[in-house]
Amino acid sequence: MPHHGAVQVYRGRTVEVSTCTKYFLFGFNTLFWLVGLALLVIGFWAWTEKGFFDNISEVSDIPFDPVVLIISIGIIMFTLSFTGCVGSLRENICLLKFFSTILGMIFFGELVCAILTFVYKDWFNQKFNDFMETTIIKYRDDPDLQNIIDFGQRKLQCCGGVQGAQDWESNIYFNCSSSIELNGIDYRPVESCGVPFSCCAHGDINYDEITNTQCGYGVRSKKEADWGEDIWTDGCIEKFEQFLRREVYLVAGLFIGVALLQIVPICFAQNMISDIETIKASWHR
């Protein structure tokens, strides 16, 4: 390992590790080390204290707990950024190579996933449709899952999955034929033949005014042509596809931004590795 800030003369020219490259990598990785640490703290707090998404793997057929994904991303960011920080500060070739190699593999994996998503678009669409159907059926079984669906419906101004509001017929609480037997008498639940509050055309809670949170009750018992007076009628899958088409530049910008966040530090790390190897080579002239 070269002495920090060492300057060597190699083949008639002065060679040293670029201070700009060195401290750019250090600052970049320090920032993402803190982000990784924050994800770990949030993940463990959510998992152990608040039970955030505790049952989502059971109620929505996701093969893993999303909190595990958050923690996994945090561990990867924490470890990778730590090696980048130490490698750049100590000018350690092994750590810098580990950092750039793993980051390159992650970038390549993301690229492959993006290509597969485009090539097998119909398959992914079907899987997403199945996911939406399952989450609608299990809507009341997990409060966190319910919050996810409500957030999506409010932001996209949609209701249900593929068929729109009618998809809520598959949920036992909103089914038009659902009933509750009490003391031998069948009662119709108040939410029967309705939709969640987040489907309402004015579903955002206004704390300055009295908000009708029961606007979705029984709405599907009306004529379908009249549903639009109270609720959003477009399915969320269709609205999400419209959002992607409408915000294509935003989506492309996000992809490019994520790519640059990985490609730029790889280039800087490789440049620093090259400088260090050149300095080491000068020792054996």
In this predicted structure, what is the pLDDT of residue 210? 62
The Cα 54–Cα 66 span in angstroms is 9
Alpha helices in 46-92, H assignment, sequence order:
56-59, 66-90
The Cα 35–Cα 74 span in angstroms is 8
In this predicted structure, what is the pLDDT of residue 79? 94
**pTM to 2 decimal places:** 0.70
Residue pair 80/102 in contact (Cβ under 8 Å)? The answer is yes
Report pLDDT digits (tens) over 97-151: 999 999 999 999 988 988 888 888 888 888 888 888 888 888 887 676 788 888 8
3-state SS assignment for residue 13: strand
Report pLDDT digits (tens) over 23-60: 999 999 999 999 999 999 988 887 776 555 555 555 55
